[in-house]
Amino acid sequence: MSKPLIVVTNDDGITSKGIRVLIEEMEKIGEVFVVAPDSPNSGMGHAITVDSTIHIKKSPIFGDIQSYECSGTPADCVKLAKHELLKGKTIDLVVSGINHGNNASISVIYSGTMSAAIEGAIEGIPAVGFSLNDFRYDADFEHTRPFIQKIVKEVLAKGLPKHVALNVNFPAVSDKPLAGIKVTRQTNGYWKEEFDSRKDPHGRPYFWMGGAFVNREPESMDNDIAQLDQNFVTVVPCKYDLTDYEALETIMKWDLN
């Protein structure tokens, strides 16, 4: 039997440590095809390149694995894989990551890692985004490997609901083994921004954006942030349909005609 065709991408760039770990694990399962940004694209969200050209070139970084580095965004990488580089072939799975830093709660909206996975889901391809709750460049990913294998094999064997991508987050490595996997929901939270106002040598103002995560439900345990804190790997099914159906019913009763 032929191996499943797996497209691997990320938002930290093709040279990141996380994507190498993910590629090594996907090699054990299927035929791997890599298209990843040529530079970091963290926080890019679902941006696509529409006002400039996109350049791609083959990369030797992963040896015999077909690999391309792309000047575009993570979502661009998936679009190019589907419609140009693998045109006419059936892609069985898109995986994105492993991201340096978690993409739990509202971070899924801003994440280039998850946007690449969701782009795969939009195209009708089963997709999974993987992130590690450790922002360090030299983060340890080794404890994620068996869980990546388990999740991907389940997705390939059983499929996913149409247009759904999985948002998988791993706790950082610690002296305790991971507690297991929890399928859960996104935490209701937001980022409270703080802008550091500065001036450049010419006196022109500029800003650095910082801030802190605010959990609107700190006592709740049935969400991804709470389960990450309990040392669980979290799995949240995500869909690009942002319609609020409860609000839809209410607003349809308004006098708008």
Separation of alpha carbons 205 and 136, rounded Å: 30
Tokens 């869909």, located at residue: 239
| Helix locations, the chain, DSSP H | 17-27, 74-80, 107-110, 112-122, 145-158, 224-229, 245-251
Classify strands 56-58 and 31-37 as parallel, antiparallel or unpaired.
unpaired
Number of Cβ within 10 Å of residue 224's Cβ equals 27
Please enumerate, by residue number, every residue annotated as part of a binding site.
11-12, 42, 99
| Tally of CA atoms within 13 A in the half-sphere of 166 that contains its CB | 26
User: CA distances (Å), 160 to each of 49, 55, 93, 128, 185, in order?
Assistant: 28, 32, 10, 10, 16
Please enumerate, by residue number, every residue annotated as part of a binding site for a divalent metal cation.
11-12, 42, 99
Task: Give the closest residue to 145 by CA, choosing from 104, 86, 98.
Answer: 98
Separation of alpha carbons 131 and 161, rounded Å: 21
